[in-house]
C-alpha cells in the first residue's frame, strides 16, 4: 500500500512541478536507455529543499521504481520539520533519517540497500549550499564518503549522476517563500557502476577507493554544475555541454 501512496505523491509533485518551474535536462554524453538499470542516483550541488521539482523530467516508470524500491537518506533535522518533514517521509519506499555522524543511522541506510533491487537516492554533499557558496557553518561544500560506501555495496547496475545548476532562484536555504515559474538547469550522465569502480581502482588503488570517489565526484561537480546564467552560449543540437569529459578524469 505504501508504494502506491508514494507513487501517487510523486506523480502529484511531478505534475505540480511542471506548472511551478521549467526544468531543462541536458545529458553530458549520450547513452542508450539512460533511465534503465539504475541502482544509485546521486544529486550534486545540493542547494534547496525544492529539489523535488526536478521530478518533472523523470519518466513515470522511474517514479514507480522509487515508490517500490527507493531508499533515501534524509537529514534528521529535515524530517523533523512540521510540514516539509511529513512530505519527505513519503518520497520513497524507505526514507531513513540520518545525522551527520558515522553512527547507527548510516548503518541503517547500508542495511536497507542490501536488497539488490534497491534504488538509492543521495545528495553526496550531505548538506545544502547557501547563497554564499558555503554550508550553514561557513565551510566549503565537499563530497562526503557515504557515496563510496554505497557504490562499494552495489554488485552491478548503473549510477546516474545529476548535476544541479542550483535552485536558489526558487528558494535558497533560510528564505521564507519560494518564487514560482523559474527556469532550472539539470545535467545528467549515466555510468556503469562496476566499470566505474574498476577505473577508480586503476587510478587510485584499491585501498584508496573512497578518496578516489570523493576526488572524482568533486571534479565532475565543478565541471558540470553550472547555472543557466553561465550557459547562455547557444549550442548546435547534439553538441556536448561546456567542459569536456576528459576534464572529469574518468568517464
The residue ranges of every structural domain in the chain are 2-248
pLDDT value of residue 102 = 66
- Res 22 pLDDT > 60: yes
Q: Which residues pair with 56 in a beta bridge?
A: none
Cβ–Cβ < 8 Å for 113, 150 = yes
Confidence of residue 84 (pLDDT cuts 50, 70, 90): confident
41 in helix, strand or coil?
strand
Helix (H, G, I), strand (E, B) or coil at 122: strand
Per the structure block, which three cell numbers stand in for 156? 552491478
Task: State the pLDDT confidence band at 82, using cuts at 50, 70 and 90.
Answer: confident
Banded pLDDT at 234 (limits 50, 70, 90): very low
d(CA 99, CA 116): 25
Give the pLDDT band (50/70/90) at residue 239: very low
**Residues 27, 33, 36, 37: is their CA dihedral positive or negative?**
negative
Between CA 214 and CA 31 the distance in angstroms is 24
150 near 96, Cβ under 8 Å?
Answer: no
Cell numbers found for residue 56: 518533472
E strand intervals along 66-219: 70-75, 94-98, 119-122, 158-164, 182-192
Q: How far apart are CA 115 and CA 98, in angstroms?
A: 19
Strand boundaries in 119-198, DSSP class E: 119-122, 158-164, 182-192
- The yes/no answer on whether domain 2-248 falls in CATH 1.10.760 is no
Whether 35 and 55 have beta carbons less than 8 Å apart is answered as: no
- Residue 226 phi/psi, 5-degree rounding, is -120, 140
Cell of residue 160, nine digits? 546516474
Residue 249 has pLDDT above 60, yes or no: no
3-class DSSP state for residue 233? Answer: coil
- Reported as type and span, the H/E element at residue 3 is helix 2-20
Which class for 11: exposed (0-12), middle (13-18), buried (19 or more C-beta within 10 A)?
Answer: middle
Instruction: List C-alpha distances in Å: 75 to 85, 89, 102, 206, 227.
Output: 10, 11, 13, 30, 25
pLDDT in tens, 168-214: 999 999 998 999 999 999 999 999 999 999 999 898 887 899 999 99
Amino acid at each position: 500500500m505504501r508504494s502506491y501512496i508514494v507513487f501517487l505523491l510523486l506523480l502529484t509533485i511531478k505534475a505540480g512541478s511542471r506548472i511551478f518551474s521549467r526544468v531543462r535536462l541536458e545529458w553530458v554524453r549520450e547513452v542508450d536507455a539512460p533511465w534503465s538499470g539504475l541502482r544509485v542516483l546521486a544529486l550534486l550541488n545540493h542547494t534547496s529543499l525544492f529539489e523535488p521539482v526536478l521530478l518533472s523530467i523523470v519518466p513515470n516508470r522511474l517514479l514507480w521504481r522509487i515508490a517500490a524500491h527507493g531508499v533515501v537518506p534524509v537529514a534528521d533535522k529535515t524530517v523533523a520539520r512540521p510540514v516539509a518533514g511529513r512530505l519527505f517521509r513519503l518520497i520513497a519506499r524507505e526514507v531513513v533519517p540520518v545525522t551527520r555522524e558515522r553512527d547507527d543511522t548510516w548503518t541503517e541506510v547500508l542495511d536497507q540497500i542490501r536488497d539488490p533491487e534497491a534504488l538509492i537516492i543521495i545528495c553526496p554533499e550531505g548538506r545544502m549550499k547557501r547563497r554564499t557558496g558555503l554550508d550553514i557553518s561557513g565551510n566549503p561544500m565537499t563530497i562526503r564518503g557515504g557515496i563510496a560506501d554505497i557504490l562499494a555495496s552495489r554488485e552491478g547496475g548503473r549510477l546516474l549522476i545529476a548535476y544541479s545548476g542550483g535552485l536558489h532562484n526558487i528558494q535558497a536555504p533560510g528564505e521564507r517563500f519560494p518564487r514560482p515559474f523559474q527556469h532550472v538547469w539539470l545535467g545528467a550522465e549515466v555510468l556503469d557502476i562496476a566499470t566505474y569502480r574498476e577505473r577508480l581502482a586503476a587510478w587510485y588503488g584499491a585501498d584508496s577507493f573512497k578518496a578516489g570517489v570523493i576526488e572524482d565526484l568533486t571534479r565532475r561537480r565543478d565541471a558540470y554544475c553550472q547555472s543557466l546564467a553561465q550557459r547562455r552560449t547557444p549550442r548546435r543540437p547534439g553538441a556536448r555541454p561546456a567542459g569536456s569529459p576528459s576534464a572529469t578524469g574518468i568517464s
